[in-house]
Structure 1
Amino acid sequence: MLPFLLATLLLAAAPAAALADECGSRATARTAAEFGEAVSRLAPAVVTLRVLRPPRADDEVPGLYAMSGLPLPGGADGREPALERSFSSGFVIGADGWIVSTAHAVYRAQQAFVELADGRQLPARVVGSDLRNDVALLKVQVSGLPVADIAADVQLCAGDALAALGSPFGFERTVTSGVVSAPLRQLPGVHAAPLIQTDVALNPGSSGGPLFDTQGRVVGMSSMIYSDTGIYVGVSFAVPIARVLKVAAALRQGRYPQREMGIVTQPLTAPLAEAFGLADSHGVLVANVRAGSAAALSGLRPGDVVLGAGGAAVDDEAALEDAVAAAPGGVVRLQVWRGRSRHVVAVRTMAGSEPSGGPPQREAEGPERRLGLGIASAAATQQMPAGVYVERAAGSGLLAGLEPGDRITAVNGTDVTTPDAFDAALDAARDRDVVALLVWRNRAPLYIAVRRIAR
């Protein structure tokens, strides 16, 4: 999961009056409830996502910093680049292998793998991702998967009981529960669409998992937390499931990243609407216009309030983004409030420059040597306790959780004390997809199952 700092960020909630009227008239329970049956129905559709990628700098995604990665140094001989292993969550939306997760989970992914509820681990192709909405679409080559029960039309109300399924800190299929804190919350400059705010605990690895109601229906996808430490402190956010499905459908058709105008917007609050001479707060306020952008060339200015686009009303940044993406010929006609009067500004949009997935994913390159592990020479470790020492980890070894400094003492029950013995044991198990390594780490033994992957 990717937490973020919002110490000075303006948070805007959805119009309260309409929500209060509708929610107040509902007869549904809005208290903590038993989620056991709901979890049992949904769990088969939840997956764990593991990604290998270059380590990320904290400032690579504006306003966000990485939490899910495990950065590891490269080998001294330079044969393998430094990589990190990260984990997150996802869920199945198509029985023929379509899975959704968060975009930050697959950012710059070189290889991605999905572990299904039945234990199968499959290579996954990142079909596309949209960082502004934090949605990614993945595909695995399998059919007959259990599909999550989606509730795209459910009206959420403050106090509604919800739960999340995910893999915080790698603890797979962990359930946390809470309530809706605010049905829709806009995070200006951080996320395109309004998010569901809850007090459901999320931690690194939770993102991409389903947020669901007491009936097991998915209403959102866990995305991020509000924190200045990177650890959950009581406020979390999820992408509404209707938005997830809309972006996923566009990604499947190759329509993201979408076109852009080059503006920064924020919600129009009632006091701001009054200050700009508007009767209500329907619209999106332009806070900044990037120099040389399509918006700047078209004459759009900071302080303009976008009321509509292409003939449709615009109430939030997501609606504006959708109108820009759907504009025929890349030209969108905006209805703008400026100087206490209405204007029409035609903007010829530009192709989006936001990264959608990083470098191409690696293709198979033949058999993997030594499970992707760099092993110290026998001469370098002759004065140390017997075993084979890991100098660097990549490939299937990294994916399984091997770390530099690990001491391997057995392969599938065969003792190994030298690199040659390690190679011989692996060769004897060459027909096995999974090998069990007995590893000593921090003076304690543990077995690690390593599933071979193609390089």
Structure 2
Amino acid sequence: MATDKTRTDSAAMACAMTRPAQPAACAHPARSRAAAPVMLLVIALCSLLASPLARAADRADTAANLCTLDLDTPRRPRDFTAAAAAIAPAVVTIVVVRERSGETSAERAYSSGFVIDADGYIVGAAHAVRSAGQTWVVLADGRTFRARVAGLDRRSDVSLLKIETRGLPVVQAAPRPVCTGEWVASLGTPFGFDYSVNAGIVSAFPRYLPGSNGVGMIQTDVAMNPGSSGGPLFNARGHVVGMSSMVYSDTGMFLGVSFAVPVARVLQVVGELKQRGHVRTATIGAHLQGVSAGLATAFGLDRPRGGIVVDVLGDGPAARAGVRSGDIVLAINGVAAGSWADIEEGIAASAVGAELSLTIWRDRSERTIALRTAALPPDMPLQSSQPHTPLPRLGLSLDTARRAAMQAGLYVESVAGPALVAGVEPGDRIVAVNGIAVDDAAAFDAALSRVGNVPVVALLVARADALVYLPVTRSEP
């Protein structure tokens, strides 16, 4: 999901030298200290899924997903060459800058995204941008834009970014849900390696995870690693079927199971984020799980169906209406629920404030309880994107080497803003500015003045015995 450093700086420089058009995404591996708690939450959530209890809860739903592909859809595509080429122009790299507590330098983290609207709206993973100090987007053509987080929804892990440009290529959403066994591929920036394609099959759909609010995820065996999240999952026709979100792992690395948010859910969330900046989600204030054959027997139910209430929260709608832990919800507004997922979907699909009539199984008999749904607290970015203000010296703090062991030259002491996004690191030696050699801060300033107010400045950087030019976006295009 989120990001961690896994390669050396010398390897990163070699990577940057192979992709001069887009060094910001390739110049350094994805990293983020904020990623650790996010990954732990995902691991905990997915570990619950792996338990027999949770498997029993959604076994019927995944097994029942028997669908037929169109006759002209390849059963096993020869490759994804054409599909990847069609979708790549709309795929972006998202670069997040966060301040390090007690340190002068900031840190950057990479994730993936895709253009959903030609007027500059981009979909990404909510966990990747929620705590961002600054968010930048690198387009397929190499242009870099400062982005505004227009809204996010952690429950679906969908965020919506806005950049100030028009006429962007957009992805095409698939007209139908995926089928279990269908071939799919992803495109993203794992470990900072941008535009990486990985392929596999849909292992299960829908796969309901605890806390998913009735949204069935797409489970695949498509490789997904730090930096992949937010990228598109697409079919053999190049149509987007989902957004890469998380993996099942106790290490944070890919172990053969990954999950994507279905594109229908992505579009629904994007519509609400565009409209109001947050998603209004209905809740009854209770947690439910599936009813297995054993639980049905224990509670005197004729067969496994509905959803059993695990706990009732505070003084929410369920608590006020008298719902108890151990109640089994069999129907909503008279519509029978075949599974726990049907209950979750029914609640999530309800309007906030809607009156629901729940058919409850309690004490081996049915009863009806009426309640009104409430709204879950809206998700908002932890820190609003800061206004764009140009930083002196491109965000670099510079000093001339003073130790005998260091080669003479101009070194980076700390880095922030556009230079950090471009891939400059503390300890780098600045050799030239737009081809003008520099060896001290005065020469650097003179070179910047000489090149004038150009939007992008090329810095020749030395790191670990390697040289590479990094384009630094001085101002937004």
Q: How does the TM-score come out when normalised to structure 2?
A: 0.80
Cα shift at 1:317: 5.5
Q: In the aligned structure 1, how far is the partner of 2:437 from the partner of 2:383?
A: 40
Q: In the aligned structure 1, how far is the partner of 2:403 from the partner of 2:210?
A: 55
* Structure 1 segment 213-362 matched on structure 2, within 5 A: 213-254=235-276, 255-309=278-332, 315-316=339-340, 320=344, 323=347, 326-327=350-351, 329=353, 332-353=356-377, 355-362=379-386
Question: Segments of 4+ in structure 1 off by > 6 A?
Answer: 24-27
**Sequence identity (%):** 46
Cα shift at 1:223: 0.7
**Structure 2: segments with no counterpart, 5+ residues:** 3-38
| Number of residues of Structure 1 aligned to a counterpart in Structure 2 | 428
Structure scoring higher RCO (CA < 8 A, sep ≥ 6) equals 2
Asked if residue 132 in structure 1 is aligned to residue 177 in structure 2, the reply is no
Out of 223, 238, 252, the position equivalent to 1:201 is: 223
* Structure 1 segment 394-405 matched on structure 2, within 5 A: 394-405=416-427
Asked if residue 147 in structure 1 is aligned to residue 170 in structure 2, the reply is yes
Cα shift at 1:445: 2.4
Asked if residue 97 in structure 1 is aligned to residue 120 in structure 2, the reply is yes
Q: Deviations over 1:336-355 (max 9, x none)?
A: 33333333444455553364
Q: In the aligned structure 2, how far is the partner of 1:320 from the partner of 1:347?
A: 15
Shifted more, 236-245 versus 289-298: the winner is 289-298
Shifted more, 113-122 versus 177-186: the winner is 113-122
Structure 1 residue aligned with 2:207: 185
Q: In the aligned structure 1, how far is the partner of 2:114 from the partner of 2:343?
A: 25
Cα shift at 1:430: 3.7
**Structure 1: segments with no counterpart, 5+ residues:** 56-71, 76-81
Asked if residue 420 in structure 1 is aligned to residue 466 in structure 2, the reply is no
Shifted more, 216-225 versus 283-292: the winner is 283-292
Out of 93, 96, 102, the position equivalent to 1:51 is: 96
| Structure 1 residues 397 and 306: alpha-carbon distance in aligned structure 2, compared to 1, 3 A threshold | farther
| Structure 1 residues 188 and 324: alpha-carbon distance in aligned structure 2, compared to 1, 3 A threshold | closer
Judge conservation of contact 1:151–1:218 (CA < 8 Å) in 2. Answer: yes
SS of equivalent residue, structure 1 residue 15: helix
| Structure 1 residues 343 and 52: alpha-carbon distance in aligned structure 2, compared to 1, 3 A threshold | farther
Structure 1 residue aligned with 2:82: 37
SS of equivalent residue, structure 2 residue 353: helix
Structure 2 residue aligned with 1:84: 107
Q: In the aligned structure 2, how far is the partner of 1:24 from the partner of 1:152?
A: 12
Q: Deviations over 1:312-370 (max 9, x none)?
A: 666555863673574353655444333333334444555533643212111123x3211
Q: In the aligned structure 2, how far is the partner of 1:16 from the partner of 1:384?
A: 61
Q: In the aligned structure 1, how far is the partner of 2:225 from the partner of 2:139?
A: 21
Cα shift at 1:180: 1.2
Asked if residue 15 in structure 1 is aligned to residue 61 in structure 2, the reply is yes
Query: CA RMSD, aligned part only?
Result: 3.0
Residue 393 of structure 2 aligns with an amino acid whose one-letter code is R
Out of 103, 114, 117, the position equivalent to 1:74 is: 103
Q: In the aligned structure 2, how far is the partner of 1:8 from the partner of 1:195?
A: 15
Cα shift at 1:416: 1.9
Q: In the aligned structure 1, how far is the partner of 2:356 from the partner of 2:397?
A: 54
Structure 1 residue aligned with 2:132: 109
Q: Whose helix proportion is higher, 1 or 2?
A: 2
Judge conservation of contact 1:47–1:115 (CA < 8 Å) in 2. Answer: yes
Judge conservation of contact 1:390–1:403 (CA < 8 Å) in 2. Answer: yes
Judge conservation of contact 1:73–1:392 (CA < 8 Å) in 2. Answer: no
SS of equivalent residue, structure 1 residue 19: coil
Q: In the aligned structure 2, how far is the partner of 1:152 from the partner of 1:305?
A: 35
| Structure 1 residues 17 and 226: alpha-carbon distance in aligned structure 2, compared to 1, 3 A threshold | closer
Cα shift at 1:270: 4.2
Cα shift at 1:246: 1.3
Cα shift at 1:191: 6.8
Judge conservation of contact 1:74–1:392 (CA < 8 Å) in 2. Answer: no
Shifted more, 409-418 versus 174-183: the winner is 409-418
Judge conservation of contact 1:220–1:238 (CA < 8 Å) in 2. Answer: yes
Q: How does the TM-score come out when normalised to structure 1?
A: 0.84
Q: In the aligned structure 2, how far is the partner of 1:361 from the partner of 1:318?
A: 38
Structure 2 residue aligned with 1:171: 193
| Structure 1 residues 273 and 129: alpha-carbon distance in aligned structure 2, compared to 1, 3 A threshold | farther
Residue 40 of structure 1 aligns with an amino acid whose one-letter code is A
| Structure 1 residues 266 and 392: alpha-carbon distance in aligned structure 2, compared to 1, 3 A threshold | farther
